[in-house]
């Protein structure tokens, strides 16, 4: 049995909510033999990877019994039922990527928007190959990272396709001024990186704010995080945090709401998008000297 992924946990949680006061035994009976109690339990507890056809049948059953199953919700849940690592480009990197990171790429591929706060690095969506290579080398603490730097750079660059696809991912990033000012032994690396960041800001689906070093204390000092959102169904949203040696998904609704509120406070404390672009351009020019 494969380990539960964040996709399957979110799906199981939503299906449990849709079931409401129906028992698993009642749902099995109503399905007229398609489902048994144990199979329904495994789906809701993310202990098995459900087939899209099974999820579609469950949603039909719940709709017939008065549950609110909109086309938008159906689409979102069927998306979560897809086993991303089995169908995505990142499948060829499975020997390099951890299951947690595969989950992140899979979710980014299906999300409607990402809101991210970064203290020390420029978000991966906007990184140049040279910056990505240097930051991976500087922050990688495991042998597996050191041995696979080039593959990890390839993955990071491939992930950027989500912001240029026909229906692009909307990215709102808040970056500390510190991340823009960090130096490099390689001449021109940060200048080129900040130019790439400014180019990305010309896209209608990208907003970048800078938290200036002169700002006051704020909740973002606690740590970086990213929120992945799936449109109107905020109960499918998830928060991703990353530390030195591990990454964590936050799925509890109250904790997600706390992060959403924190991100809004950080955004309010940061420079406007226009003023941020001016500051990024100034810091880029400073890197020339």
Q: In this structure, is residue 153 part of a structural domain? A: no
* Mean pLDDT computed over 175-186: 89
Q: At what angle do helices 37-44 and 6-19 cross, to 10 degrees?
A: 120
pLDDT bin (cut points 50, 70, 90) of residue 1 is very low
Q: Of the candidates 62, 82, 102, which is a domain's last residue?
A: 82
| CATH code for the domain in which residue 168 is found | 3.30.870.10
Dist CA 283 CA 63 (whole Å)? 55
| CATH code for the domain in which residue 72 is found | 1.10.260
Residues 111 and 164 in one domain: yes
Dist CA 74 CA 18 (whole Å)? 12
* Mean pLDDT computed over 231-243: 82
**Percentage of the chain modeled with pLDDT above 90:** 54
Q: Of the candidates 82, 115, 143, which is a domain's last residue?
A: 82
Q: In this structure, is residue 150 part of a structural domain? A: no
Domain that holds residue 272: 86-128+159-286
Give the pLDDT confidence score for residue 78 in this predicted structure.
Answer: 87
Neighbours of 54 (CB within 10 A): 17
Q: Of the candidates 49, 82, 115, which is a domain's last residue?
A: 82
Q: In this structure, is residue 140 part of a structural domain? A: no
Residue scoring higher pLDDT (126 or 244): 126
State whether residue 113 is helix, strand or coil: strand
DSSP strands (E only) in 26-159: 113-118
Residues 119 and 166 in one domain: yes
pLDDT bin (cut points 50, 70, 90) of residue 167 is very high
Residue in this structure with the two tokens 């329904």, named with its chain if needed: 40
Residues 257 and 217 in one domain: yes
Q: In this structure, is residue 136 part of a structural domain? A: no
Residues 75 and 95 in one domain: no
End-to-end CA distance of the chain: 57
Average pLDDT of the chain is 88
The domain total for the chain is: 2
Residues 239 and 264 in one domain: yes
Residues 95 and 73 in one domain: no
Residue scoring higher pLDDT (216 or 163): 163
**pLDDT over 90 (residue 275):** yes
Q: In this structure, is residue 1 part of a structural domain? A: no
Give the pLDDT confidence score for residue 115 in this predicted structure.
Answer: 97
State whether residue 42 is helix, strand or coil: helix
Give the pLDDT confidence score for residue 205 in this predicted structure.
Answer: 98
The predicted-structure confidence for 8-66, as pLDDT tens digits, reads as follows 888 888 899 899 999 999 999 999 888 998 999 989 888 888 888 999 999 999 999 88
Question: To 5 degrees, how large is the angle CA 239–CA 205–CA 287?
Answer: 90
The predicted-structure confidence for 64-96, as pLDDT tens digits, reads as follows 988 988 888 888 888 888 754 445 777 778 778
Residues 222 and 272 in one domain: yes
Give the pLDDT confidence score for residue 286 in this predicted structure.
Answer: 85
């Amino acid at each position: 049995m494969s380990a539960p992924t964040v996709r399957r946990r979110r799906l199981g949680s939503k299906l449990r909510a849709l079931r409401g006061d129906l028992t698993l035994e009642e749902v099995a009976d109503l399905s007229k033999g398609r489902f048994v109690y144990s199979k329904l339990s495994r789906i809701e507890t993310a202990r098995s990877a459900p087939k899209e056809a099974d999820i579609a049948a469950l949603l039909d059953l719940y709709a017939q019994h008065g549950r609110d199953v909109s086309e938008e919700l159906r689409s979102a849940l069927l998306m979560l039922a897809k086993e991303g690592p089995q169908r995505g480009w990142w499948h060829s990197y499975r020997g390099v990527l951890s299951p947690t990171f595969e989950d992140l790429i899979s979710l980014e591929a299906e999300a409607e928007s990402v809101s991210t706060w970064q203290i020390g690095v420029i978000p991966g969506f906007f990184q140049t190959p040279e910056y990505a290579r240097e930051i991976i080398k500087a922050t990688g603490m495991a042998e597996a990272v050191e041995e696979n730097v080039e593959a990890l750079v390839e993955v990071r660059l491939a992930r950027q396709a989500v912001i240029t696809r026909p229906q692009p991912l909307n990215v709102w990033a808040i970056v500390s001024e510190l991340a823009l000012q960090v130096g490099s032994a390689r001449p021109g690396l940060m200048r080129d990186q900040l130019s790439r960041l400014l180019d990305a800001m010309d896209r209608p689906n990208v907003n970048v704010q800078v938290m200036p070093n002169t700002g006051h204390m704020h909740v973002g000092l606690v740590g970086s995080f990213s929120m992945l959102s799936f449109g109107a169904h905020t109960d499918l949203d998830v928060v991703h945090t990353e530390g030195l040696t591990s990454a964590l998904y936050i799925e509890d609704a109250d904790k997600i709401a706390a992060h959403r509120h924190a991100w809004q406070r950080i955004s309010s404390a940061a420079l406007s998008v226009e003023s941020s672009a001016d500051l990024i351009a100034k810091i880029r020019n400073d890197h020339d000297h």
